[in-house]
Structure 1
Amino acid sequence: MKKVWNVAIYTRVSTDKKEQSESIPAQIQSLKKWLIEKSSNDKEQIYKLQQIYKDQGFSGSNFKRESFIKMKKDIENGKINMVLTRDLSRFARNYITAGYYLEDYFKNKGVRFVSVLDNVDTIDEVDDIVPFKNILNEMYIKDCSRRTRDGLKQRMIRGSSIASRPLYGYKFHEVHDENVKIIKLIPREDETTKVVKKIFELYIQGFGMGRIATYLNDKGIAPPSALIKNFSRSKFKLWNNNTIRSILTNPKYAGIMVQGRWRKVSYKINKVRPTPKDQWIIGGEFKGIVSKETFEIVQELIKKRSKGFRHKGGNTHLFSGVLKCNECGGSMSYRGDFKGYKCTNSQMGGGRCIAHSIKEEYLIKKIKEDIKRNIYKLNNKKNFYNLAELKVKKNSDYKRKLKDIDKELQILDSKFQRIYFDNLSGIINERNFKSLITCIENQQQRLISKRKDIENLYLNYNYKEKIYCQYKIQIDKILNFEEIDRFIIESLIDKIIVSENKITKEKNIDVYYKFKEPISIMNPPQHV
């Protein structure tokens, strides 16, 4: 009896681009032709084309392809016992997985695998050359991944955004510098920029991230995902803690082009992991939605509040994180039923501490009086402003030096491309190619390192120059405050120690001031 082969033709292209998508019909046509010729020449076996599977827009290292999975199901159900593909690279570019299918899976399922251009037919023993071709395929995809990554890195260094969509509150603006396209971020001229500013403002006022999200949802403000095409509120939900945190902690909102904060684990694995801060790529400055000073204040508050306490509504209470118990040194947290603060350790039981407590209303009255008394002891406003300048010195060379380095990097990129194509064309041999590439890469590393040093100096200068005005605003607010808020507490007070006279039960409050810059330059921390 003749052997019947139920054939599946499998085709794949890695992108949806027109020129690649048109190669699928070409693959199918050549495989059908092979099948007809095989049927004519092989009278001992019958070939029946059962199904054509087409995967478009999937890389060869990704095995979670829609048609590939469907083909596997058909194999499992006994519908297919022969897989026909043009070459191994259409089937897979991952050596380990390709080897598994060819040398294990297909054998166990009784499936014959044919790769036409590679002359591989598993009806015989798997050819020894197959593993080597698999290795070459994997080397190719690894090399493509590395070159893509290097190209993206150069774009990031030049300050060009590599994101597929602009950040919430921004839009893309294309510029050309020395014939090199650079994608810049500029603030949108709509409500989204106001929303970003409001988020930072509310956080400084003492709102927690959860409460900010609730506030925006109650106002009916659409979340960032609403800017995505085909947005559905039910699908993308609403504002949440994570969305608020991602905005508050992203340096781009302060006009600093920081990229590379997340990195793909490898070219085979789509998972990402955070990149160490010293490996972030800073590609210059642009117009931010909030000031750098505001951004820095928020980062300090996030750090501080992570150690403090919050109630279930997500709001930070006025004295959260600064009140300490004199008896045990523990923190004091807000109790809604008491309308004040109690020692956390005393609430845990076990005799850890006595029940120290203090009413919030009484605390506000006493602290307000104490702050006003101490503020007036400080020097006049003019001295504050002088200190706020922080001895800013202009150095216009920084920007010019950065531009010069960027030009040198562009020249090296062009050299790299020319050498690469010369090698492919056989103009230079492999030995000279490797030598030249190593030389260029060393020059690039030196320039990148030099650029980073100059950039840090430049950013530091710009930061100081711009925060001068911000400091003046904050100083005015501190010196002329009428009511206590979280900004006043967090700007002036390091900690408040609460104690109690064991006989009279009278509350004692000791305030430790810290006076953030520029005030701290004039007055070291003092005990009042």
Structure 2
Amino acid sequence: MARVSRKNIAVTAVSADEELKPYKACLYLRLSDEDERSIEDNSIGNQKKICLEHLKKLPEIEVTASYIDNGASGTNFSRPGFKRMLQDLTNGRINCVVVKDLSRLGRNYLETSEYLEKFFPEAGIRFIAVNNGYDSIRKLNGKQEIVIPFSNIVNDMYAKDVSRKIRSSIKTLMKCGEFLPPSGSIPYGYLRDEKNNTYIIDKETAPIVREIFKMKLQGVSDGEIIRTLNRKQIPSPGKIRYLRGMTKAEKYKDAVWVGSTLRKLLSNEVYLGHRIHGKVKRDCLGAEKKRRPQEEWEYIYNVHPALISEEDFQKIQQIKAKGREKQAQCNKHQELSLEERRLLTGKIYCGDCGTLMGGRKGNQRFASKELPRIFYQCGGYEYSGRTRCFNHYISQKDVLEKIKNALNVQFKLIAESDRVIKRIQDDKKEMLALHDKKRKEINDELAKMEMKKERLLIDHNNGTINSEEYKYIRQKYDDEEQKLRRILVFAEKERKNQEKQLRTIEEWVKLMKQFMPQKNIDRKLIEHLIDTIYVYGNKNVEIVFLFKNEIEELTGAAREAERKERNIG
């Protein structure tokens, strides 16, 4: 067991308020592969024991939660347990974090320092690192001011050193053809052969791979191959991993064959018997993984059984290259701007199944003189292998026309109904004034009630009324007071609601007037005014505006004003 230093640590006195303040604390416990040499000292159980033993001396701290990251590296802070802890810290559920030592919090010097010196202090969170003798409510002495940052640097250097050694070891194994990725990363059609450090043919999925290549050689299109695989209910790579327990992610439970999966399989040189490493790499420890250009990939040739010949593989690549050339010819027309392509992104849904609709650029013949078009297709139909919902799509041009028509109605309402808007605003302000009057009346009644209670107490003390009478009358006063207070709370709530409605109407009017001169619909207008767009299979389009209630209220008020004017006339 790791020993806590028994050296005296000089600290300045802590204020009585801080010392006696109750803390809702959590234990943060982390163990990763980098701790292999000290697995006993750093075990989750041992970390917990050390923290709890230390907290026996701090009665003001109550442990209410524990967050554990088992097998998580300290070089980054994207850890499930750490994220949950941050969420609870932000929500105020806990206000104290206890760790065995600073390395448990993290081994990245800059990010660890950011939490210690900025996030925790600014959020009023107490932080304790037991073995470092660190407690954030106690000021550090001169020696500790140097030791704590130095400890963070040492932890950072240790993690980088371990990472370099692991990377070097893996690189050596790769060059020898002996490195195997996890089972979940083994290509479709193969299984791990750990004994011989290689891949072996998967009798269940290898015939499927061969059949896919065969269909492509026969000139079958990607779309038809996908439809055939899904129609025969042949499990996709994601689904086979889910069925075999290699992943528990629910998104793979019903995963089907899609275009990207098929394209990746048909271009994977692993089926020639070659091992390929380094497609995705980090530039340095803690950095995000990035895809590398093919010239940087590392090939180890003929290290496992091939599923297709070199000749057939190259024929398929030529077929795919011709397809890309044809696609490129269709795309030689005027390019669409990023603004045009992302105009409705994340706003347009299938009205029949509720799935987000995916935007596509329509292909055109090279001789076509028409401008490129964008259309939206039901994502539920597309990504379920055409087994859910049904195939329906709509052009972006048609959707924009519907939006423009709907907005024109609102613009007209704004342009012609300033007096109606003013009337609504006046009505709201009048209601606010009535609420203020009502609140004053209730507060006056409450003040009178207090005076009644005082007089009642004086009468009781003087013997004017006996105890039974006092209790009876006092209870009546209390009941009446509670009733008044409930009315006051309701009135306050109503007043806030009226204020909010008034602000929202004014905000909507301001926005509408801002966009009224605008002839073209852009992303800014979409984000400020539109919540969701639903497209149904019969091409009907439903537009849900962000200010739906305000529009309905204004429309109703306008109609009421017109009705009254007609009656007067």
Q: Shorter-normalised TM-score: what interval?
A: 0.5 to 0.7
C-alpha distance in structure 1 between counterparts of 2:126 and 2:22, whole Å: 9
TM-score under structure 1 normalisation? 0.53
C-alpha distance in structure 2 between counterparts of 1:346 and 1:102, whole Å: 64
Whether the 8 Å contact between 2:180 and 2:192 is mirrored in structure 1 is no
Paired residue type of 2:280? W
Paired residue type of 1:243? T
Whether the 8 Å contact between 1:265 and 1:273 is mirrored in structure 2 is no
Aligned to 2:51: 31
Aligned to 2:233: 220
> Alpha-carbon deviations, 1:421-450, whole Å to 9, x = none?
xxxxxxxxxxxxxxxxxxxxxxxxxxxxxx
Structure 2 CA distance for partners of 1:119 and 1:200, relative to 1, 3 Å: same
C-alpha distance in structure 2 between counterparts of 1:225 and 1:21, whole Å: 39
C-alpha distance in structure 2 between counterparts of 1:198 and 1:303, whole Å: 21
Whether the 8 Å contact between 2:272 and 2:302 is mirrored in structure 1 is no
C-alpha distance in structure 1 between counterparts of 2:72 and 2:79, whole Å: 7
1:207 aligns with 2:220: yes
Q: CA deviation at 1:290?
A: 0.5
Whether the 8 Å contact between 2:100 and 2:129 is mirrored in structure 1 is yes
Aligned to 1:89: 103
Q: CA deviation at 1:253?
A: 0.3
Aligned to 1:110: 124
C-alpha distance in structure 1 between counterparts of 2:118 and 2:109, whole Å: 13
Q: CA deviation at 1:20?
A: 6.6
Whether the 8 Å contact between 1:85 and 1:116 is mirrored in structure 2 is yes
C-alpha distance in structure 2 between counterparts of 1:170 and 1:218, whole Å: 23
Structure 2 CA distance for partners of 1:233 and 1:60, relative to 1, 3 Å: closer
Structure 2 CA distance for partners of 1:259 and 1:112, relative to 1, 3 Å: same
TM-score under structure 2 normalisation? 0.49
Q: Which has the higher helix share?
A: 2
Aligned to 2:274: 256
Q: CA deviation at 1:210?
A: 2.7
1:138 aligns with 2:138: no
C-alpha distance in structure 1 between counterparts of 2:80 and 2:207, whole Å: 43
Q: Give the greater-gyration-radius structure (CA).
A: 2
Structure 2 CA distance for partners of 1:78 and 1:154, relative to 1, 3 Å: same
C-alpha distance in structure 2 between counterparts of 1:132 and 1:256, whole Å: 46
> Which range moves more in the overlay, 132-141 or 274-283?
274-283
1:301 aligns with 2:319: yes
Listed as ranges, the matches of 1:370-519 within 5 Å are none
* Structure 2 unaligned spans of 5+: 1-15, 245-249, 331-363, 372-569
C-alpha distance in structure 2 between counterparts of 1:96 and 1:262, whole Å: 25
C-alpha distance in structure 1 between counterparts of 2:39 and 2:302, whole Å: 37
Give 1:292's match in structure 2, choosing from 302, 306, 310: 310
Q: CA deviation at 1:51?
A: 3.0
Structure 1 segments (4+ residues) deviating >6 Å: 231-234
Give 1:53's match in structure 2, choosing from 64, 67, 73: 67
Structure 2 CA distance for partners of 1:82 and 1:230, relative to 1, 3 Å: same
Aligned to 1:194: 207
Whether the 8 Å contact between 2:97 and 2:128 is mirrored in structure 1 is yes
C-alpha distance in structure 1 between counterparts of 2:209 and 2:297, whole Å: 27
Does the residue aligned with 2:308 lie in a helix, a strand or coil?
coil
C-alpha distance in structure 2 between counterparts of 1:222 and 1:298, whole Å: 23
Structure 2 CA distance for partners of 1:107 and 1:295, relative to 1, 3 Å: same
Does the residue aligned with 2:131 lie in a helix, a strand or coil?
coil
Structure 2 CA distance for partners of 1:104 and 1:239, relative to 1, 3 Å: same
Aligned to 1:438: none
Q: CA deviation at 1:198?
A: 1.7
Q: CA deviation at 1:164?
A: 0.9
Q: CA deviation at 1:275?
A: 4.2
1:123 aligns with 2:137: yes
C-alpha distance in structure 2 between counterparts of 1:233 and 1:119, whole Å: 45
In the comparison of the two structures, how many residue pairs are matched?
307
Structure 2 CA distance for partners of 1:280 and 1:300, relative to 1, 3 Å: farther
1:153 aligns with 2:153: no
Give 1:277's match in structure 2, choosing from 288, 295, 298: 295
* Structure 1 unaligned spans of 5+: 40-45, 176-181, 311-319, 322-342, 351-528
Q: CA deviation at 1:280?
A: 2.0
> Alpha-carbon deviations, 1:12-69, whole Å to 9, x = none?
1126999679821211111121122355xxxxxx333333333323221232333323
For the aligned residues, what is the CA RMSD?
3.1
Does the residue aligned with 1:308 lie in a helix, a strand or coil?
helix
Q: CA deviation at 1:304?
A: 2.5
Listed as ranges, the matches of 1:234-253 within 5 Å are 235-253=253-271
Does the residue aligned with 1:346 lie in a helix, a strand or coil?
coil
Does the residue aligned with 1:11 lie in a helix, a strand or coil?
strand
Q: Which has the higher strand share?
A: 1
C-alpha distance in structure 1 between counterparts of 2:157 and 2:82, whole Å: 22
Paired residue type of 1:112? R
Aligned to 2:382: none
Aligned to 2:85: 71
Whether the 8 Å contact between 2:239 and 2:255 is mirrored in structure 1 is no
Paired residue type of 1:71? M
Q: CA deviation at 1:112?
A: 2.0
Does the residue aligned with 1:84 lie in a helix, a strand or coil?
strand
Whether the 8 Å contact between 1:88 and 1:134 is mirrored in structure 2 is yes
Q: CA deviation at 1:286?
A: 2.9
Does the residue aligned with 1:49 lie in a helix, a strand or coil?
strand
Q: CA deviation at 1:284?
A: 4.1
C-alpha distance in structure 2 between counterparts of 1:252 and 1:285, whole Å: 10
Listed as ranges, the matches of 1:345-364 within 5 Å are 345-348=366-369
> Alpha-carbon deviations, 1:109-134, whole Å to 9, x = none?
22221212122222244623322221
Does the residue aligned with 1:237 lie in a helix, a strand or coil?
coil
> Alpha-carbon deviations, 1:358-380, whole Å to 9, x = none?
xxxxxxxxxxxxxxxxxxxxxxx
